[in-house]
Structure 1
């Protein structure tokens, strides 16, 4: 089969590899579309596996059941499936408390889906047993269904912090995730959405997703600008959705007294963020870290992604054959693309 194989930081080669064997209790999914995620790009361009290569990334996977194992009875050849990468045991304290995104069963969490930058992927029986695989209706495109995964964490974040009417919301980072946040926040009833980024191209595209005000932080002080647009009070809620410590530092200066700040974007491992703790203390600022989504949130996010209410066509700006994965990475990094979806079976 054809696959985009990583041999080191920035060294991604599209080549022929061995098709995976079908587990007796599992299945083989023929991948029809796979989204290119920001975390994929971060992993592909850094020494994410500490020298353990070659490796195939890709986790926003949708496709058709191509083969089933002799002991697998739930799915049949030809079924259209969305493969959510998260897997939860539903038995540990975290799962039982409603925070299955923090499942502590290491064997189960190791089932997280990857290997999507290829024409086929094997799905183990344990993954099928524990769930996180959803059927795609016939009238929904594979491209639209692939957005179910990146939308999941955004859906969970806004759900957890109860974004709604009449919130004013600042989103730092106008990448695909930031645009998802803006669109969903508007659907949920947020009244003023302010988007901050360094890239004018991205900021201009963000206006299509419900953003009311854009701020280019390379041209003006974003803290002063947010204060100006919120009558000097600061926003009700601020989400730092970039992989930068500096935006976390800035975020607490953009929120109102008694407001809420969310650290959504992961920053470099081992790095520390400098925070004005007196400001947090005396202004009664709440700070929440966000990662992942619970089981029910993943299902609801998938249902939203495939619904007619969600404008998937606006988010997917580029559809490329797998052979052009490096082009897709560059389009995303420069801000020319909001969302790139790769087709493993298309020819370049």
Structure 2
């Protein structure tokens, strides 16, 4: 099969390798579409595995069952599947408390082999887990693949309770930021403000429910947020970007007793300067968000396949696996928002 192997930071080579093996209760998935995520970009352009190469990343995966093990009974050849990338044990303390995203025994497909390949093995622990869903025949793979990025966005807003009448600031107008804008409006937010350094992305964000845009390289984003909120600041500020500087600024955009969310991961080893006195004296709730529990995974999937969120609006380009590194550069530069990869294109 064809696969994109990472040999080191910025060293991604598309090669022919054997198809992965799977156990008797597992299956072989023909990868139809895989989304390129900001975390993929960070992993593929830094020494993410500390020399443990080559490796295949890719976690936003949808595909068709190509083969099944001789003891597999849940799925059949030809089934169209959305495979969420994390599989919790459902037995540990975190899982039993409803926090399966923090599972002590969490397994991730791309720790072994991810979806930037023509085939991906789904072992028995994945097949028998809670996070695989059949895609309705009428729903294109290019739509269903947005279920994974939406799951984290849905879980975040579910957990901090974005609700009717609030002002929400989103820092970062990438795929996650624009999904946040759309969902915040669906949940009833009165005003959505987008902060970003790229004018093209700011302009595009207006198509996703954003009411006001702020280019933080041209104006003071803190003062502008205060101006738009009558000096108060936002009810909720979601920092959805990999910038420590942006995270530092986000603190001062929150109103007293508001909520500050750190969602985007920053490069390994980087630390953010946080004014804890400001958090303390303004009674600001601070929340680090990662992942989704099993119910939130399903809710996000339902929103995508039902069309409640129009997935195709978020897709800038569809590119072949051979052009994976070009896709990375396109997203990093801001010339593209969300890029999908088709391994068979």
TM-score, with structure 1 as normaliser: 0.96
In the alignment, what sits opposite 1:78?
78
- Counterparts of residues 30-179 of structure 1 (less than 5 Å): 30-105=30-105, 108-111=106-109, 114-179=113-178
Provide Cα deviations, 1:255-306, integer angstroms capped at 9, x if missing partner.
1111111111112334332222222122111111111110100111111111
In structure 1, the residue matched to 2:315 is: 316
1:203 equivalent in alignment to 2:202 = yes
CA distance in 2, matches of 1:238, 1:67: 45
SS state at 2:193 partner = strand
Once the two structures are superposed, residues 21-78 of structure 1 have per-residue CA deviations (whole angstroms, 9 ceiling, x without a partner) of 2321110001111101111011011111111111111111111100011111111100
State how far apart, in whole Å, the 1-side matches of 2:28 and 2:108 are. 18
Structure 2 contact 56–110 (Cα < 8 Å) conserved: no
Post-superposition Cα deviations, 1:88-128, rounded to whole Å, max 9, x if no partner, equal 111111011111110012xx425567520010011101111
Partner of 1:306: 305
Aligned to 1:342: 341
Shift of 1:206: 0.8
Q: Which residue of 1 aligns with 2:3?
A: 3
Q: C-alpha deviations, 1:226-256, integer Å up to 9, x for none? A: 0111111111110111112222221121111
Q: Is the partner of 2:316 in helix, strand or coil?
A: strand
Number of the residue aligned with 2:225: 226
What is the distance in 1 between the residues matched to 2:53 and 2:24?
27
Q: Distance in 1 between matches of 2:103 and 2:110?
A: 12
Structure 2 CA distance, aligned partners of 1:23 and 1:281?
Answer: 52
1:237 counterpart SS class: strand
Alignment root-mean-square deviation, CA: 1.2
Counterpart of 1:256? 255
**3-state SS of paired residue (1:55):** coil
Q: Does the CA contact (< 8 Å) of 1:26 and 1:68 recur in 2?
A: yes
Is the contact between residue 26 and residue 127 of structure 2 (CA under 8 Å) also seen in structure 1?
yes
Q: Secondary structure at the match of 2:39?
A: helix
Does the CA contact (< 8 Å) of 1:183 and 1:209 recur in 2?
yes
Question: CA–CA distance in 2 between the matches of 1:163 and 1:197?
Answer: 21
Whole-angstrom distance in 2 between the partners of 1:224 and 1:295: 39
DSSP 3-state at the match of 1:65: strand
CA distance in 1, matches of 2:13, 2:122: 24
Q: Say if 1:197 and 1:298 are closer, same or farther in 2 by CA, change over 3 A.
A: same
Where does residue 213 of structure 2 map in the other structure? 214
Greater mean deviation of Cα atoms: 140-149 or 300-309: 300-309
- Report the TM-score, using the length of structure 2 for normalisation: 0.97
1:171, 1:218 → 2: CA distance?
16
Whole-Å separation in 1 of the counterparts to 2:157 and 2:146: 17
In 2: Cα distance, 1:150 partner to 1:112 partner: 16
Partner secondary structure for residue 158 of structure 1: helix
**Which sections of structure 2, spanning at least 5 residues, go unmatched?**
none
In structure 1, runs of 5+ residues without a counterpart are none
